[in-house]
Structures are given as C-alpha cells and as structure tokens.
C-alpha cells in the first residue's frame, strides 16, 4: 500500500525556519517525481515545489522561491522541504504528493500543519 | 503565476450531470497536456480524478470525464451522487516550469 507521511510542522515565529519531511513507503520512491502542495486555512490548493527523479529538475512557486529548498534522499525513501524566512502567509497544511507521471499527483499524504505567528 | 479560473460553486440534483470549467492561458492549459483534476473532501487527502487532460486513474468511476478546448479544460460528473459533494480543483504545468492550481469549485448535491 502506498503511504506518504509528512512530519515536521509546528508553530514558528515570522522569520524562523522549519524542515518538513515526507516518508514514503509501498512503492519504489526513486522512480517517481514528487511535489509539495499547501492549503492555507479556508483557501485553495497552492503548488509549492517539484523535484524530479534523481533530483534532475527542481522547481518552485513564485511565493516561496529563494526561501524554500526541496530535496530528496532515495536511500531513505524521503523528501524534505527546508523552509526559511517564514512569513505569516506561509501558514498552511503542507501535503507531500507523488506524481503518477508528470504533474499528476496520484497519492497524497494527510499533511502537516505549519503555523507562522508571533 | 495566477491561479486558473474555476467557478466558485456549482450545484446539481442526484442523477444529474454537472460541468466544472477551468480557464487558463496559452502559456498553460492551452499548450500542455498535463491538466489534472482533484477531489477534496473535508479532512481527507486530495484524490486524483483525471490526468493528462482526459485519462482516469484505475479505480476512479467512469462517471467522471474531462475534456479541453483552447484555454479551457472541463470536468463533467454524470449521475450525481451525494458522495460527490466536495471541492474540485484543476491543475496544469506552465511555460514557466511551474505548476498552478485553479481556485477550486465547491460542488453541492441538492
């Protein structure tokens, strides 16, 4: 069974940092492109970042580029999101999502909540 | 990158069909085949309904179908059921090497 489990969320002050993790199981992690997608309270889905197989291609949304860094460790079946210079508007439920092929996320985790507040 | 444009809400009665539109630009929906649709129930993870504009993953009901014409993609749900009441989002790849979601559509089954 495919499982994606996010962790690392929590309460952080503006300007602070957090590192999110996504632990994958039930499939060959190295064969899949991966994404981070977030949903702010009462808002819609917002794509955050994409990392391809073997980390050959990495892309970011305009609102996080330069502040967030995505990475993966295929040996540990894990993906990470290093979030720096956090802003109040980064408050959201952060999902880890696996792509079936390209930009078509067929499995999602349950999300980890990030709250940026003073 | 602006969000794709979806109607905020649609509604229909059980058994009816509804269509949700998703309008982008020539730099995203029109130019790429990577349009996908997702269903979100409160408190649950998003579910992939459609990928590559028209394809259904295995296990997704054939009541869900999709199409694309120019800058607009569409999701049709036929034979509406109470369990279809949820939020629906479209998504696509863009010329800027980013991905964008629609603003979401709340479906109410009357």
Mean pLDDT, residues A17-32? 97
Copy the structure tokens of residue B77.
């749900």
Query: What percent of chain A clears pLDDT 90, i.e. is strictly above it?
Result: 96
Least Cα distance to B24 among B98, B86, B82, B87 occurs for B98
Least Cα distance to A98 among A52, A64, A61, A40 occurs for A52
Judge whether A66 is closer than 8 Å to chain B, CB to CB.
no
CA–CA distance from A28 to each of A19, A24, A74, B25, B81 (Å)?
23, 9, 9, 35, 35
b/e per residue A35-65 (b: at least 16 CB within 10 A): bbbbbeeeebbbbbbbbeeeeeeebbbeebe
Average pLDDT, chain B: 92
Pick B100's closest partner by Cβ from A47, A57, A109.
A47
Closest Cα of chain A to B67: distance in Å?
16
Q: What pLDDT shows up at residue B96? A: 82
Whether B19 shows a pLDDT value over 70: the answer reads yes
CA distance A50 to B99: 9
Which residues have C-beta within 8 Å of that of residue B88, sequence separation ≥ 6? B6, B20, B37, B38, B39, B40, B49, B75, B104, B105, B107
Whether B1 shows a pLDDT value over 70: the answer reads no
Contact A45 B91 (CB under 8 A): yes
Residue A101 has a CB neighbour count (10 Å cut-off) of 13
Question: Which of the pair, B82 or B24, is modelled with greater confidence?
Answer: B82
**pLDDT tens-digit readout, A71-118:** 999 999 999 999 999 999 999 999 999 998 888 999 999 999 999 999
**pLDDT tens-digit readout, B49-73:** 999 999 999 999 999 999 999 899 9
Pick A44's closest partner by Cβ from B36, B48, B103.
B103
Q: What is the 3-state secondary structure (H, E, C) of chain B?
A: CCCEECCCEEEECCCCCEEEEEECCCCCCCCCCCCEEEEECCCCCCEEEEECCCECCCCCCCCEEEEEECCEEEEEECCCCHHHCEEEEEEEECCCCCEEEECCEEEEEC
């Amino acid at each position: 069974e495919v499982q994606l489990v996010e962790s690392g969320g929590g309460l952080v002050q503006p300007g602070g940092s957090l590192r999110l993790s996504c632990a994958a199981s039930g499939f060959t992690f190295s064969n899949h492109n991966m994404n981070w997608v977030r949903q702010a309270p009462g808002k819609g889905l917002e794509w955050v970042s994409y990392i391809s197989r073997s980390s050959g291609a990495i892309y970011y949304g305009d609102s996080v580029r330069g502040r967030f860094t995505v990475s993966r460790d295929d040996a540990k079946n894990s993906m990470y999101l290093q979030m720096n210079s956090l802003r109040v508007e980064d408050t959201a439920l952060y999902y880890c999502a696996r792509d079936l092929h390209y930009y078509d996320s067929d499995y999602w985790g349950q999300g980890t909540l990030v709250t940026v507040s003073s | 990158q602006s969000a794709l444009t979806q109607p905020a809400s649609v509604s229909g009665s059980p058994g009816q069909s509804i269509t949700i539109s998703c309008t982008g630009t020539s730099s995203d929906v029109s130019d790429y085949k990577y349009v996908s649709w997702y269903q979100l129930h409160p408190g649950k993870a998003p579910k992939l309904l459609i990928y590559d504009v028209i394809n259904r993953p295995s296990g997704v009901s054939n009541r869900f179908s999709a199409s694309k014409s120019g800058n607009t993609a569409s999701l049709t749900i036929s034979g509406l059921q109470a369990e279809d009441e949820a939020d629906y989002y479209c998504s696509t790849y863009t010329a800027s090497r980013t991905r964008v979601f629609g603003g979401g559509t709340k479906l109410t089954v009357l």
